[in-house]
Structure 1
Amino acid sequence: MSTHDDGFDQPTTKLSAGQFDGSGFSSGTGYAPAPLEPPADFDGGDGEENRWHGGLDFGLLILRVVLGGTMAAHGLQKLFGLFDGPGIGGFASALTGMGYTSQTTLLSWITGIAELGGGVLLVLGLFTPLGAAAILGVAVNIIYAKFAAGGRFFTGDGAGFEYELFIGLTAFALLFTGSGRAAIDKNTPWRRKPLPYALLGLLLAGAASAVVIVLFR
């Protein structure tokens, strides 16, 4: 009959003669408990509730589709006059009113392509850091132009920059979260580890914004 039964069968390792089992007593049987190994799926103690789950993927999909679809529609307005948009000529005139005095037609094309291309990339979840950087760069330039023209945060005549700020911050957030798994980017390095690619996207957006401000204003 066993004199020790705590309901837990612990693996053992053989001790040679004269060795101690770490408890302060020499082993009479020559065996001591082996160290326990954590299971392969051990999460470090964070708990199941802190793991990535499908709800996060769905939420990021909604953010991408709404932001990307909205910006792609704006790009179509500027490039082709769709959805009652101004077209290239009308947007070039609007840029002149915002203080852009050089090559406004070229800048209209650049802005429209950035909005359309960046929006499509976000909707698809394809090269998400690049798409988010394109949208962020456009938003930063419009915020700067409205602010430099004396625009306020809220205005009723379209001169406020609260909308562009919301768009820019949403794109900024997607840079750091990545696309989620409901995306073409699912198995890419920038989806699994978005931080370095987010910093690269920030650098690209900042550089593009600076170039536009210097060359076109």
Structure 2
Amino acid sequence: MSTPDDPDSPTTKFDPSTMDDSGPSRPGSDSMLAEVEESGPEPDRWHAGLDVGLLVLRLGLAMVMGAHGLQKLFGLFDGPGIGGFADALTGMGYTGQTTLLAWITALAETGGALLLAAGLFTPLGAAAVLGVTINMVVTKFQLGSGYFETELELLIGLAALTLLFTGAGRLAVDKNTPWRRKPGAFGLFGLLLATAASIVVIVMFR
């Protein structure tokens, strides 16, 4: 029969030298910890469903807003052109510099659509679209329109707001930019920019 003092005993002896501040060390634990620390954060990886979905959302929003912008800029798709849109703004209650506002709106819609389609400076493109739709919704409500007369503008605005905080995805020119990797802060900036621009338009042109 073996005894605790027997060198051949299978009983494991406690060795104080294996102790540290957190308890007994285990073989390989230090190397495992070092590997975790060296590996750093998880790399930015391809997510097919998310990136393709964001591409579809960007292209769809760009197609809708781009068509409206071309209607205003060049009179395409039976659009009114700048002059006709300026007259329409007057009928909506805008009293000052309607021609300038028509140019601003047309360029915001067309430029924002182009940026979204390419995935280039996506927060700026989404903010431009969001700013236009905020003014459209406010104007319609002031003219007495209800929810069902503004639901398209609301949907467009929500799509632009979504892209502000998700970023463009990897299928975009922006794929290696800080605002795609960390869209939260840039999305908040874009939201503030769109809101401020809408307030300026409402105050100065109505």
Specify if TM > 0.5: yes
Alpha carbons 1:77, 1:87 under 8 Å: kept: yes
Alpha carbons 2:46, 2:170 under 8 Å: kept: no
TM superposition shift of 1:20? 3.7
Q: Which runs of 5+ in 2 are unaligned?
A: 1-8
* Pairing 1:204-215 to 2, within 5 Å after superposition: 204-215=193-204
Matches of 1:100 and 1:34, distance apart in 2: 73
Structure with greater helix share of residues: 2
1:19 pairs, out of 11, 17, 28, with: 17
Cα deviation 1:157-182 (Å, max 9, x = unaligned): xxx11111011010000000000000
- Report whether the alignment pairs 1:117 with 2:111: yes
2:50 pairs, out of 41, 53, 56, with: 56
Partner residue, 2:152: 163
- Report whether the alignment pairs 1:93 with 2:87: yes
Cα deviation 1:12-58 (Å, max 9, x = unaligned): xxxxx752457xxx9xxxx95231436576989xxxxxx86111100
1:68 pairs, out of 59, 62, 72, with: 62
- Count of residues paired in the alignment: 186
Percent identity between matched residues is 62
Partner residue, 1:200: 189
Matches of 2:127 and 2:110, distance apart in 1: 13
Matches of 1:75 and 1:188, distance apart in 2: 27
Q: Which runs of 5+ in 1 are unaligned?
A: 5-16, 45-50, 155-159
Cα deviation 1:132-189 (Å, max 9, x = unaligned): 00000000001000111111111xxxxx111110110100000000000000000000
Matches of 2:18 and 2:203, distance apart in 1: 76
Matches of 2:152 and 2:26, distance apart in 1: 68
TM-score, normalised with respect to structure 1: 0.78
Alpha carbons 2:137, 2:154 under 8 Å: kept: yes
Code of the residue aligned with 1:174 in structure 2: it is L
Code of the residue aligned with 2:203 in structure 1: it is V
Alpha carbons 1:115, 1:138 under 8 Å: kept: yes
Alpha carbons 1:21, 1:32 under 8 Å: kept: no
Partner residue, 1:143: 137
Alpha carbons 1:134, 1:205 under 8 Å: kept: yes
Partner residue, 2:163: 174
Matches of 1:32 and 1:153, distance apart in 2: 65
Code of the residue aligned with 1:147 in structure 2: it is F
Code of the residue aligned with 1:82 in structure 2: it is L
TM-score, normalised with respect to structure 2: 0.82
Code of the residue aligned with 1:185 in structure 2: it is D
